[in-house]
Amino acid sequence: MESFFLYSAVLLTIIIAVPLVRVIKGPSVLDRLLATNAIASKTIVLICLIGFLFGRIDMFIDITLAYAILGFVGSLIIAKYISLEKKEPEDGN
Amino acid sequence: MEIKSIFVIFFVLVGIFFMLIGSIGILRLPDFFSRTHAISKSDTLGILFVVLGLIIHDGTLVNSLKLGLIMIFIALANPIGSHALANAALKKGMKPLLHKKKKEN
């Protein structure tokens, strides 16, 4: 069971590396922000799997909860700040 | 192999499959408003499946309750974040792509 968690963590790391392409070449700021949000929400599962690998899941769950709440609040505040900016005339995407 | 390990492996593999589909979707879809679908739907479903498999693997009561709390928080927070980003894009003046272009990527 330990080796299965190890292999699934490696596979999940490869999956997390895919939206970095959208972060680098995204046309607008919101595309980059959306890809960053995707990376942050997949990292939660990765931290849980690493906690089961180390055998200290009671400590890693608290780290996971704090990380999830921080990422959610940051994403909401940046979205609010972008929507309050001055409206651009054309050429959004 | 006991019956618990089969359930754990099944749920974790199904969750990783849905997360892979979400990652491919954010790379391949042509528009911002269609990329939010790849994040808010398939990604949330994949995370819920993996955490459900971890709940089955972990036997104790306190850790399972905390993982259930993570499940509830993810199911609430991930679509709210995507909806806030889409709302900000719409207020900023970004138009959705209604007609398919010929040469994309």
Q: Locate the chain B residue with the closest alpha carbon to A19.
A: B23
For chain B, positions 68-97, list CB contacts with chain A under 8 A.
69-70, 73-74, 77-78, 80-82, 84-85, 87-89, 91-95, 97
Residue A69 lies in a domain: yes
Residue A55, φ and ψ in degrees, nearest 5: 80, 15
Q: At what angle do helices A2-17 and A29-54 cross, to 10 degrees?
A: 170
In angstroms, rounded to a whole number, what is the distance separating the alpha carbons of residues B90 and B23?
23
- For residues A62-92, b (16+ Cβ closer than 10 Å) or e, as one string? eebbeebeebbeebeebbeebbeeeeeeeeb
**Average pLDDT for A40-47:** 91
Predicted local confidence at residue A27, as pLDDT: 84
Residues 6+ apart with CB under 8 A from B100: none
CA distance B45 to chain A (A): 11
Are the CB atoms for B11 and B50 separated by under 8 Å? yes
Q: Locate the chain B residue with the closest alpha carbon to A81.
A: B88
Q: Total domain count for chain A?
A: 1
The residue among A35 and B92 whose pLDDT is bigger is A35
Question: Residue B104: which pLDDT band, with cuts at 50, 70 and 90?
Answer: low
Maximum distance among all Cα pairs of chain A, rounded to whole angstroms: 56
Residue A38 lies in a domain: yes
Task: Provide the residue range defining the domain that includes A29.
Answer: 2-82
Residue A78 lies in a domain: yes
Q: At residue B101, does pLDDT exceed 80?
A: no
Cβ contacts (< 8 Å) between A52 and chain B: which residues?
54, 57-58
- Give the mutation candidate from A11, A22, A37 for the B interface (greatest B CB count, under 10 A): A37
Q: What is the distance in angstroms between the CA of the first residue and the CA of the last residue of chain B?
A: 47
pLDDT digit string, tens, across residues B40-92: 889 999 999 999 999 998 878 898 999 999 999 999 999 999 999 888 888 88
Residue A73 lies in a domain: yes
Tell me what ipTM this predicted complex has. Answer: 0.83
Residue A90 lies in a domain: no
Are the CB atoms for B32 and A31 separated by under 8 Å? yes
The residue among A75 and B95 whose pLDDT is bigger is A75
pTM of the model: 0.85
Are the CB atoms for A37 and B41 separated by under 8 Å? no
